[in-house]
Each structure stands twice: as C-alpha cells, then as structure tokens.
A and B are shown apart, each in its own frame.
Chain A
Amino acid sequence: MNMNWYKFSAPSAFYPLAGKLIPWFWALAALFGTVGLWLGLVVAPIDFQQGEGYRIIFVHVGASWMSMFIYVVMAFWAAIGLAFNTRLSGMMTAALAPTGALFTFLALWTGAFWGKPMWGAWWVWDARLTSELILLFLYIGFIALTRAIDDPRRADKAGAVLALVGVINIPIIYFSVKWWNTLHQGASVSLSKGSSMAALMLWAMLLCALAMWMYTIAVSLIRVRGIILERERHTEWVKALLLQNAAAKPMIAPIAQREAK
C-alpha cells in the first residue's frame, strides 16, 4: 500500500472518496443495528433484577460512548487543523458536532427513561449525569460559536480552540463513577477485567454501539460533503460537478448553469 494519503486532505479529492464510502458505512450500520437489536430485544432473556427495563442499555451505552468518543475525535481534528492548517479538519469538526450533540441528548434521554423505574427519579445530580449534561452544553456552545462567525476559516479555528479547551471534560465524565461514589453504576465492561455482563447481552450491546459508530461515520461524511460543496462553491471542480449532475438530471439544469456562472 504505497498510497499518498495526503491527497485526501484536499476537499476536492475527499469529496468523491466520501461519496464512495457512505453506502458501505450505511450498510454496516444497518447490519450491526439489525443483528444487535435482534439479539438485544428478542433473543436476550429478561434480566432477573431489572426486568424488561434493562433493554434500554442497548441504546444508552452505545449513545453515551459515542457522545464522548465523537468529542475526542472532534478535538483530534481540531488539533490537526490548528497544527497543520488543513481546511478539511475544520470541516470534519463541524460535521461531527451535530451528531455528537444528538448522541449526548440521546444518552441523557434514555438514561432518564432508565432512571425512572430503577432509581425512582428522572434525573439526579450525580457526577456522571452532570458532566454528561456539561458535555451537551459544550456541543451546543461549539455549534453556536461556529455558526455565529461568518468567515468559515475563523469559525473553524475558534471552534478548534473551544473543542480543545472542552476536551478536559471527557476524562472527568469517564472516570466520574470511579472518582466519586455516585448513583450511576460503574462500568460493566472493561478491557482489563473482562465484562460483568452475560456474553449474549454484551454482544448485543457492542453490536448496537458499532452500529451507532458506523451511523456516525456515514452521517458525518454526508454532512462534510455538504460543507465541502458550500465552501468550495466558487471553485472550478464544484462548478464542473454541478454541470455534470445537471446533465444527468434535466430538472435542475437551469439552476446548476446559473450557479456555475
């Protein structure tokens, strides 16, 4: 594999690559999601302590993992963008943020649904819940800041600084159940000690989390393609692409020709 990976840091080269990858990630997301949910909702037995209610973990755990993971990935792209001044990094960060906010919201929402029957409360001011809520605020702050700046280059860089400052929160969320004696239970899965869950439930949960991961990649790639088109609309390759698409779809031809001028 002697490929020039830097080639794909140019938006014009990344755009078609992303287009080719998207269907594959959708397919993987659908496959993992179907098998995971089937195992989790149909095959897995009822938990002897928590009853049917425990099944919400198949969504909750994956969403919580993704909410933290996406922020770390955003911070990674932010650092790359600030260090190497690449345009695509900022676009990736911007494309990931809404999905991260969605998963954070989903983690809090499903957590509330789980908390009501198990703890008897929709919400408690526990360290992990509070820090996850702060994460949601960080995502919203990031989106608000980048949308408030008109110049996309400045928006990318300002967002990158904010993402890097906010990344301090991620270890706090992750270790909150260890550092403080909280109501939220500790991790059931760990790399060093193995899992305290039944193997079947663990597989269902991991597959659901994988499905969310693949979904995140697919959706972010779609979003980043949109951002690329929007920001590069003055370049020749976008104009050529628009005209080429217009030739395939006569309905939009007049619009494409006007845009291309």
Chain B
Amino acid sequence: MSVVLHIIARDLRLALRRPADLASVLFFFIIVASLFPLGVGPEADLLRRLAPGVLWVGALLATMLSLPRMFADDFHDGALEQLALSPHPLGLIVLGKTLAHWLVSGLPLAALAPLLGLQFDLPVDTLLILSASILLGTPALSGIGAIGAALTLGLRGGGVLLSLLVLPLYIPVLIFGAGAVDASMNGINPHAHLFLLAALTVGGVVFAPFAAAAALKIALE
C-alpha cells in the first residue's frame, strides 16, 4: 500500500513542477465547452439540453489528452524500467500512477465543470450532480486510459492510436455520466446512474491496472 502512496506522491510532485501541462488540459476542456454555444447558437433551452453530453464529452477528451504523459516521460528517462524491476507488483505501481493521473486530471475537471455548467444555464442541483458524476466517473477513465497508454507506449502516431483504442471503451462511462446529469435536469432521481458509474469506477480502478501492467511489461521487453 505504501508503494501506491509513494508513487502518487512522486507523480504529483512531478506534475506540479510543470503546472503548464496541468493548465493546458483544463483550458482544453473550457475551450471545447465554449465552442458549442458559438457553434449551435446561444438559445438557453437548446444549450441546457446539450449541456450533459457536451460537458461529459469535453471532460472525456480532456482526460484522454493527458493520458500519453502517464508513462511516456518515465519511459524515456528509464525510470519506468527501474519501477518495473522493483520487487513491488507492477500492478500496484500502475494503480498509483492511475490515481495520480486522476488527481491532476479528473479532480480539477470535476471542480471546473459546474462553472462551465453555468455557461450552459444548468440549474444548481444539476451542477452538483454534474460535478459528482465527473468525480465518480473519471477514475474509471484514468484506469481504462492506463491500458491504452501502456499499449501505445513508444509507438509512432501513439496519440491518435490511443484515442482509437480508448474512446470505444469510454462509451459506457459517457452514457451513465451524461445520463445522470440528464436525469437530474429532468427531475428524475439520478442515483441509479451514479451507482452504475461508481460500479464502473470500482471495476476500472481494480482490474485495469493489472491489464495495464501486462501491457507495460510487453512494451518494456
């Protein structure tokens, strides 16, 4: 367990030393979300109906954009090989990296989302559900993303390939995440969607690191 905490602390320290990388992901989210009102027009009713899907797709793409960095830097300077050689299970190390990735992508996105929801004229209760759904769903995105990042490690055109591999697997999270926001906006209890999101996250965070660790071992061979 202390391995996981060490890796989280290490990755956070590294990420905070390059705050511009962090900020670019958040600004990407803001820009994508701002493009839609400019594209489809500023009618509040239409925007409110689009908001759950648009904000969730934006959060999903922003998470995906930050994925290649999860392993790439450590791979290039050889740190990843040292981590893989350490006596600790690689799955736990990947779990730590996954959680660290979530702390610098999913968590700030969830904090930022209500602000963007205001631009889309969402009611206040819905803003809370939006934030909660992103908070619950993004760990699964980081977990599944870790598999994709490990599989495409060091390949040419890795970024595009990564999106091709990871986006289809993100679809269930998108459906239940946007579904929760949509339900709360229409006065339906969103708990069912949130529970399913939580289930996806538990499954993703528990099983994905081991698949990602297998993929990393292949990449490091």
A-side residues, CB < 8 A to B, are: 82, 130, 134, 137-138, 140-141, 144-145, 148-149, 153-154, 157-158, 161-162, 164-166
Known A141-B164, A148-B157, A161-B211: A154·B221 in contact at CB below 8 Å: yes
Chain B residues within 8 Å of A130, by CB: 171
Residue of A nearest to B156 (CB): A148
A161 touches B161 (CB 8 A): no
A110 to chain B, nearest CB (A): 22
Within 8 A of A (CB), among B154-186: 155-158, 161, 164-165, 167-169, 171
Interface residues of chain A: helix, strand, loop or mixed (majority): helix
B-side residues, CB < 8 A to A, are: 147, 151-152, 155-158, 161, 164-165, 167-169, 171, 211, 214-215, 218-219, 221
Chain B residues within 8 Å of A148, by CB: 152, 155-158, 161
Q: Which 8 residue pairs across A and B have the least CB separation, nearest first?
A: A137-B168, A157-B218, A141-B165, A134-B168, A161-B215, A141-B164, A148-B155, A158-B151
A65 to chain B, nearest CB (A): 21
Known A148-B155, A165-B169: A137·B164 in contact at CB below 8 Å: yes
B168 touches A138 (CB 8 A): yes
Residue in B164, B167, B215, B218 whose CB lies within 8 Å of A144: B164
Residue in B147, B155, B157, B158 whose CB lies within 8 Å of A165: B147
B63 to chain A, nearest CB (A): 18
B168 touches A162 (CB 8 A): no
A101 to chain B, nearest CB (A): 13
Residue of A nearest to B165 (CB): A141
Residue of A nearest to B160 (CB): A144
Known A158-B215, A161-B211: A140·B164 in contact at CB below 8 Å: yes
Known A148-B157, A158-B151: A164·B211 in contact at CB below 8 Å: yes
A145 touches B218 (CB 8 A): no
A selection of 24 A-B contacts at a CB cut-off of 8 Å is A82-B214, A134-B171, A137-B164, A141-B165, A141-B168, A144-B164, A144-B165, A148-B156, A148-B161, A149-B155, A153-B221, A154-B218, A154-B219, A154-B221, A157-B218, A158-B151, A158-B219, A161-B147, A161-B215, A162-B165, A164-B211, A165-B211, A166-B168, A166-B169
Query: Known contacts A144-B161, A153-B221, A161-B214; can you find 11 more A-B pairs with CB under 8 A?
Result: A140-B164, A141-B161, A141-B164, A144-B164, A145-B151, A145-B152, A148-B152, A154-B219, A161-B151, A161-B218, A166-B169
Residue of B nearest to A131 (CB): B171
